[in-house]
Amino acid sequence: MRARLFPKSERGTANHGWLQANFSFSFGNYYNPEMVQFGMLRVLNDDTIAPGTGFGTHPHDNMEIITIPMEGGLTHRDSMGNEETVRFGEVQVMSAGTGILHSEMNASQTEQAKTLQLWIFPELENVKPRYDQKGFNPEANKNTLINVVSPHDKNEGGALWIYQQAWLHLGVFDAGQIITYPIHLEGNGMYLFLLDGQLEINGQEINARDAYGAVEFETLQITTKAPSRILIIEVPMQFKN
Protein backbone atom coordinates (compact mmCIF):
# COMPACT_ATOMS: atom_id res chain seq x y z
CA MET A 1 0.00 0.00 0.00
CA ARG A 2 1.06 3.56 -0.69
CA ALA A 3 -0.54 6.28 1.40
CA ARG A 4 -0.24 9.97 2.23
CA LEU A 5 -1.70 12.40 4.75
CA PHE A 6 -3.12 15.64 3.35
CA PRO A 7 -3.22 18.05 6.32
CA LYS A 8 -5.95 20.65 6.66
CA SER A 9 -3.26 23.34 6.77
CA GLU A 10 -2.16 22.55 3.21
CA ARG A 11 -5.55 23.28 1.64
CA GLY A 12 -6.05 26.34 -0.53
CA THR A 13 -8.37 29.08 0.70
CA ALA A 14 -10.38 31.97 -0.66
CA ASN A 15 -12.33 34.74 1.05
CA HIS A 16 -14.89 36.40 -1.22
CA GLY A 17 -16.90 37.94 1.61
CA TRP A 18 -20.08 36.02 0.80
CA LEU A 19 -18.06 32.82 0.30
CA GLN A 20 -15.40 31.30 2.55
CA ALA A 21 -13.85 28.45 0.56
CA ASN A 22 -11.33 25.70 1.25
CA PHE A 23 -9.88 23.76 -1.68
CA SER A 24 -8.42 20.27 -1.38
CA PHE A 25 -7.30 20.55 -5.01
CA SER A 26 -6.33 23.35 -7.37
CA PHE A 27 -9.39 25.50 -8.07
CA GLY A 28 -10.04 29.04 -9.27
CA ASN A 29 -7.11 31.28 -8.33
CA TYR A 30 -5.56 28.57 -6.14
CA TYR A 31 -3.07 26.39 -7.99
CA ASN A 32 -0.83 23.74 -6.45
CA PRO A 33 0.90 21.56 -9.06
CA GLU A 34 1.18 18.76 -6.49
CA MET A 35 -2.56 18.87 -5.72
CA VAL A 36 -4.42 19.02 -9.01
CA GLN A 37 -6.52 15.88 -8.45
CA PHE A 38 -6.59 12.47 -6.77
CA GLY A 39 -7.21 10.03 -9.58
CA MET A 40 -10.61 10.87 -11.05
CA LEU A 41 -11.48 13.13 -8.08
CA ARG A 42 -10.87 16.63 -9.44
CA VAL A 43 -12.54 18.90 -6.86
CA LEU A 44 -13.37 18.74 -3.17
CA ASN A 45 -14.45 22.19 -2.01
CA ASP A 46 -15.45 22.89 1.59
CA ASP A 47 -17.57 26.07 1.41
CA THR A 48 -19.39 28.41 3.79
CA ILE A 49 -21.97 30.53 1.95
CA ALA A 50 -23.47 33.66 3.48
CA PRO A 51 -27.27 34.06 3.80
CA GLY A 52 -29.08 35.12 0.63
CA THR A 53 -26.05 34.56 -1.59
CA GLY A 54 -24.63 31.79 -3.73
CA PHE A 55 -23.39 30.76 -7.14
CA GLY A 56 -25.31 32.38 -9.99
CA THR A 57 -26.12 30.61 -13.24
CA HIS A 58 -23.04 29.02 -14.77
CA PRO A 59 -22.25 26.14 -17.17
CA HIS A 60 -20.78 22.66 -16.72
CA ASP A 61 -20.16 19.77 -19.09
CA ASN A 62 -18.72 16.24 -18.84
CA MET A 63 -18.35 16.22 -15.08
CA GLU A 64 -20.08 14.31 -12.27
CA ILE A 65 -20.93 16.87 -9.57
CA ILE A 66 -21.89 15.82 -6.05
CA THR A 67 -23.11 18.25 -3.38
CA ILE A 68 -23.34 17.35 0.31
CA PRO A 69 -24.78 20.04 2.62
CA MET A 70 -23.24 19.98 6.08
CA GLU A 71 -25.35 22.80 7.49
CA GLY A 72 -28.39 24.56 6.05
CA GLY A 73 -29.38 24.05 2.42
CA LEU A 74 -28.87 25.10 -1.20
CA THR A 75 -31.57 25.86 -3.76
CA HIS A 76 -30.65 24.37 -7.12
CA ARG A 77 -32.09 25.54 -10.45
CA ASP A 78 -30.97 24.22 -13.83
CA SER A 79 -31.63 24.37 -17.56
CA MET A 80 -33.43 21.00 -17.40
CA GLY A 81 -36.20 22.65 -15.38
CA ASN A 82 -35.22 21.24 -11.99
CA GLU A 83 -35.74 23.45 -8.96
CA GLU A 84 -34.98 21.71 -5.69
CA THR A 85 -33.54 22.53 -2.28
CA VAL A 86 -30.97 20.08 -0.95
CA ARG A 87 -30.49 20.21 2.81
CA PHE A 88 -28.37 18.71 5.55
CA GLY A 89 -28.86 14.93 5.52
CA GLU A 90 -29.33 14.84 1.74
CA VAL A 91 -26.93 14.24 -1.15
CA GLN A 92 -27.31 15.68 -4.65
CA VAL A 93 -25.77 14.38 -7.88
CA MET A 94 -25.67 16.00 -11.31
CA SER A 95 -24.24 14.50 -14.49
CA ALA A 96 -23.37 17.54 -16.61
CA GLY A 97 -22.84 15.45 -19.76
CA THR A 98 -23.37 17.37 -22.99
CA GLY A 99 -23.85 20.60 -21.04
CA ILE A 100 -26.03 22.18 -18.39
CA LEU A 101 -26.60 25.58 -16.81
CA HIS A 102 -27.37 25.75 -13.12
CA SER A 103 -27.31 27.98 -10.05
CA GLU A 104 -26.86 27.14 -6.37
CA MET A 105 -28.06 29.67 -3.80
CA ASN A 106 -28.20 29.56 -0.03
CA ALA A 107 -31.81 28.60 0.73
CA SER A 108 -31.87 30.86 3.80
CA GLN A 109 -31.91 34.64 4.02
CA THR A 110 -30.72 34.57 7.63
CA GLU A 111 -28.49 31.50 8.17
CA GLN A 112 -25.22 30.49 6.53
CA ALA A 113 -24.93 27.26 4.56
CA LYS A 114 -21.96 24.89 4.71
CA THR A 115 -21.47 22.46 1.86
CA LEU A 116 -19.03 20.02 0.34
CA GLN A 117 -18.91 19.86 -3.44
CA LEU A 118 -17.06 17.18 -5.37
CA TRP A 119 -16.29 16.95 -9.08
CA ILE A 120 -15.43 13.54 -10.50
CA PHE A 121 -14.36 12.96 -14.10
CA PRO A 122 -16.88 10.64 -15.84
CA GLU A 123 -16.03 7.43 -17.66
CA LEU A 124 -18.72 8.19 -20.26
CA GLU A 125 -18.72 11.59 -21.94
CA ASN A 126 -21.47 13.54 -23.69
CA VAL A 127 -24.30 11.71 -21.92
CA LYS A 128 -27.72 13.28 -21.48
CA PRO A 129 -27.55 15.58 -18.44
CA ARG A 130 -29.34 14.33 -15.33
CA TYR A 131 -30.09 15.40 -11.76
CA ASP A 132 -31.05 13.48 -8.63
CA GLN A 133 -31.02 13.86 -4.86
CA LYS A 134 -31.85 11.67 -1.89
CA GLY A 135 -31.96 11.84 1.88
CA PHE A 136 -29.60 9.74 3.98
CA ASN A 137 -29.33 9.74 7.75
CA PRO A 138 -25.89 8.69 9.01
CA GLU A 139 -26.69 10.05 12.47
CA ALA A 140 -29.53 7.53 12.81
CA ASN A 141 -27.28 4.69 11.63
CA LYS A 142 -24.20 5.30 13.76
CA ASN A 143 -21.08 3.18 13.46
CA THR A 144 -21.97 2.15 9.90
CA LEU A 145 -20.59 3.34 6.57
CA ILE A 146 -23.56 4.33 4.39
CA ASN A 147 -23.11 4.03 0.61
CA VAL A 148 -24.51 7.28 -0.81
CA VAL A 149 -23.08 7.15 -4.36
CA SER A 150 -22.10 4.19 -6.55
CA PRO A 151 -21.40 3.50 -10.27
CA HIS A 152 -24.17 3.65 -12.87
CA ASP A 153 -23.65 -0.02 -13.80
CA LYS A 154 -23.25 -1.39 -10.28
CA ASN A 155 -25.91 0.55 -8.40
CA GLU A 156 -27.44 -1.29 -5.49
CA GLY A 157 -28.76 -0.69 -1.99
CA GLY A 158 -30.47 2.61 -2.72
CA ALA A 159 -27.39 4.75 -3.40
CA LEU A 160 -27.43 7.56 -5.93
CA TRP A 161 -25.37 6.85 -9.06
CA ILE A 162 -22.88 8.57 -11.34
CA TYR A 163 -21.11 7.76 -14.62
CA GLN A 164 -17.87 6.58 -13.01
CA GLN A 165 -16.57 3.54 -11.16
CA ALA A 166 -16.67 5.49 -7.91
CA TRP A 167 -18.20 4.90 -4.50
CA LEU A 168 -18.91 7.44 -1.76
CA HIS A 169 -19.63 6.49 1.85
CA LEU A 170 -20.64 8.65 4.81
CA GLY A 171 -20.52 7.56 8.42
CA VAL A 172 -20.94 8.85 11.97
CA PHE A 173 -18.91 6.87 14.50
CA ASP A 174 -18.37 6.72 18.23
CA ALA A 175 -14.85 6.66 19.62
CA GLY A 176 -13.13 3.28 19.73
CA GLN A 177 -14.68 1.89 16.56
CA ILE A 178 -12.69 -0.17 14.05
CA ILE A 179 -13.80 0.28 10.44
CA THR A 180 -12.60 -2.10 7.73
CA TYR A 181 -12.88 -0.60 4.25
CA PRO A 182 -12.46 -2.99 1.28
CA ILE A 183 -11.58 -1.48 -2.09
CA HIS A 184 -14.37 -2.21 -4.57
CA LEU A 185 -12.39 -2.31 -7.79
CA GLU A 186 -8.75 -3.11 -8.51
CA GLY A 187 -6.89 0.01 -9.55
CA ASN A 188 -9.09 2.31 -7.47
CA GLY A 189 -7.77 4.49 -4.68
CA MET A 190 -9.40 5.81 -1.52
CA TYR A 191 -9.49 9.46 -0.43
CA LEU A 192 -10.78 9.77 3.14
CA PHE A 193 -11.91 13.23 4.29
CA LEU A 194 -12.45 13.58 8.03
CA LEU A 195 -15.26 16.04 8.72
CA ASP A 196 -14.99 15.93 12.50
CA GLY A 197 -13.14 13.90 15.11
CA GLN A 198 -9.88 11.98 15.11
CA LEU A 199 -8.77 8.77 13.38
CA GLU A 200 -5.75 6.53 13.17
CA ILE A 201 -4.75 4.55 10.07
CA ASN A 202 -1.54 2.49 10.11
CA GLY A 203 -0.19 4.60 12.97
CA GLN A 204 -1.01 7.88 11.19
CA GLU A 205 -3.11 10.35 13.21
CA ILE A 206 -5.81 12.12 11.21
CA ASN A 207 -7.60 15.19 12.60
CA ALA A 208 -10.69 17.15 11.57
CA ARG A 209 -10.59 18.37 7.95
CA ASP A 210 -7.43 16.38 7.22
CA ALA A 211 -7.54 13.90 4.34
CA TYR A 212 -5.80 10.57 3.80
CA GLY A 213 -5.19 9.03 0.40
CA ALA A 214 -4.31 5.38 -0.15
CA VAL A 215 -3.70 3.23 -3.24
CA GLU A 216 -2.61 -0.34 -3.96
CA PHE A 217 -4.47 -2.02 -1.12
CA GLU A 218 -7.30 -4.52 -0.72
CA THR A 219 -8.62 -3.57 2.73
CA LEU A 220 -7.84 -0.71 5.08
CA GLN A 221 -8.43 -0.59 8.83
CA ILE A 222 -9.52 2.71 10.35
CA THR A 223 -9.72 3.31 14.11
CA THR A 224 -11.76 6.18 15.57
CA LYS A 225 -9.93 7.88 18.44
CA ALA A 226 -12.83 10.30 19.10
CA PRO A 227 -16.44 10.64 17.89
CA SER A 228 -16.01 11.16 14.14
CA ARG A 229 -17.83 11.99 10.91
CA ILE A 230 -16.18 10.46 7.86
CA LEU A 231 -16.49 10.79 4.08
CA ILE A 232 -14.77 8.08 2.01
CA ILE A 233 -14.35 8.65 -1.73
CA GLU A 234 -13.18 5.71 -3.83
CA VAL A 235 -12.24 6.53 -7.42
CA PRO A 236 -10.24 5.07 -10.32
CA MET A 237 -6.70 6.42 -10.34
CA GLN A 238 -6.39 6.53 -14.12
CA PHE A 239 -8.62 7.40 -17.05
CA LYS A 240 -10.29 4.43 -18.71
CA ASN A 241 -8.69 3.53 -22.05
What is the three-class DSSP state of 8? helix
**CA pair distance 227, 207, nearest whole angstrom:** 11
At the top level of CATH, the class of 2-236 is mainly beta
Q: Quote the CA–CA distance of 50 and 54 in Å, as a whole number.
A: 8
Query: Rounded to whole angstroms, how far apart are CA atoms 153 and 156?
Result: 9
pLDDT the model gives residue 142:
94
The CB density around residue 69, as the number of other CB atoms within 10 Å, is: 22
Q: Which phi and psi angles does 66 have, rounded to 5°? A: -125, 130
Q: What is the pLDDT of residues 36-45, one digit of tens each?
A: 999 999 999 9
Residue ranges in the chain modelled with pLDDT below 70 = 241
Cα dihedral 186, 119, 70, 5 sign: positive
pLDDT in the model for residue 23: 97
Q: What is the pLDDT of residues 177-233, one digit of tens each?
A: 999 999 999 999 999 999 999 999 999 999 999 999 999 999 999 999 999 999 999
* pLDDT at site 157: 80
Q: What is the pLDDT of residue 241?
A: 58
pTM: predicted TM-score of the whole model, two decimal places: 0.96
What is the number of residues in the chain?
Answer: 241
